Structure 1
Amino acid sequence: MIEIERKFLVTSDAFKKEAIKKIRISQGFLNTHPERTVRVRLKDDQGYLTVKGKSSKNGLSRFEWEKEIPKSEAEALLKLCEPTIIDKERYEVKVKNHTFEIDVFFGDNKGLVVAEVELAFENETFEIPEWLGAEVTGQIKFYNSQLSSHPFKVWGKQ
């Protein structure tokens, strides 16, 4: 139940040609406490409830628990979430032995494109695709829980 992942900005939309899957995601947060977040997510027509713990100091790993729930329950829980609901498309791209998940954000986070890769252990190596940009692992402003309360569109205005 420990998730290890690295997060990067994306420099072009070249990943779209390599995508093996694309889904629409709506997600909100019932709780964004620094020690834990509780997320509700709709991935196309399937609901999920996820609890994430505090990240390690280097931002690479944290506790994650996820449970599939009916769409109707996820829709009801999304109405109880803190502002704002995140809307994004997720592309999955296989690069050698790893799958990158690239999120293209809409709404208040439009213009932000972030890739994540899950790892088996913190110092695992992986091939870096041409469209992968600067690493933002551990930078809290890129966490989805933060993007819901401090969206990308206001970053330059603060």
Structure 2
Amino acid sequence: MIEIERKFLVKSEAYKARARTKTRIVQGFLNTDPNRTVRVRIKGDIGYITVKGKSNDTGTSRFEWEKEISVEEADALLKLCEKGILEKSRYEIPLGDHVYEVDEFYGDNQGLTVAEIELNSENELFAKPDWLGKEVTGEVKYYNSQLSKNPFINWE
């Protein structure tokens, strides 16, 4: 239940040619406390509720618990979420033993594209494709919970 991931900006759309899937995601947050977030998500035709704990000092690891729920339940919970519902498309790009998840945001976060890779350990080696940009692991403003409160359109 510990999630280990690294996060990067994306500097080109070259990932789209290698994507094996593209899925529409709508998500909101019932709670965005820094010590715990509670997320509601509709990914394609499946709903989820997720609880995430506070990240470690490097921002690479944190507790994560997720449960599948019906789309109807997720839709009802989205109506209770804090202001700032996120919409994005997620592309899954396999590379070596890993899968990059690239999120292309819409709405007030239009123009922001972020890639994440889940790892088995914080020091695990992984291939870095040429479309990968600056690493932003641990930079709080790139957390989805923060993008819902302070969207990309407001950044200078």
Sort the TM-score into its range (normalised by shorter chain): over 0.9
Cα drift, residue 86 of structure 1: 0.1
| Residue 73 (structure 1) aligns with | 73
Point out 4+ residue stretches in structure 1 off by more than 2 angstroms.
none
Q: What is the alpha-carbon distance in structure 2 between the residues aligned to residue 54 and residue 11 of structure 1?
A: 28
Computed over aligned residues only, the root mean square deviation of the Cα atoms, in angstroms, reads 0.3
Cα drift, residue 18 of structure 1: 0.1
Cα drift, residue 44 of structure 1: 1.1
Cα drift, residue 122 of structure 1: 0.3
Is 1:122 aligned to residue 122 of structure 2?
A: yes
| Residue 137 (structure 1) aligns with | 137
Gaps of 5+ in 1: none
Q: Map 1:1-158 to 2 at 5 A.
A: 1-156=1-156
Cα drift, residue 31 of structure 1: 0.1
Count of residues in correspondence between the two structures: 156
AA of the residue aligned to 1:53 = G
AA of the residue aligned to 1:79 = K
1:48-71 CA distance string (max 9 Å, x none):
000000000000000000000001
The DSSP-based 3-state class of the residue aligned with 2:74 is helix
The DSSP-based 3-state class of the residue aligned with 2:126 is coil
TM-score (norm 2): 1.00
Q: What is the alpha-carbon distance in structure 2 between the residues aligned to residue 53 and residue 62 of structure 1?
A: 6
Cα drift, residue 90 of structure 1: 0.1
AA of the residue aligned to 1:73 = E
The DSSP-based 3-state class of the residue aligned with 2:125 is coil
Q: What is the alpha-carbon distance in structure 1 between the residues aligned to residue 45 and residue 85 of structure 2?
A: 16
Q: What is the alpha-carbon distance in structure 2 between the residues aligned to residue 12 and residue 95 of structure 1?
A: 17
Cα drift, residue 25 of structure 1: 0.1
TM-score (norm 1): 0.98
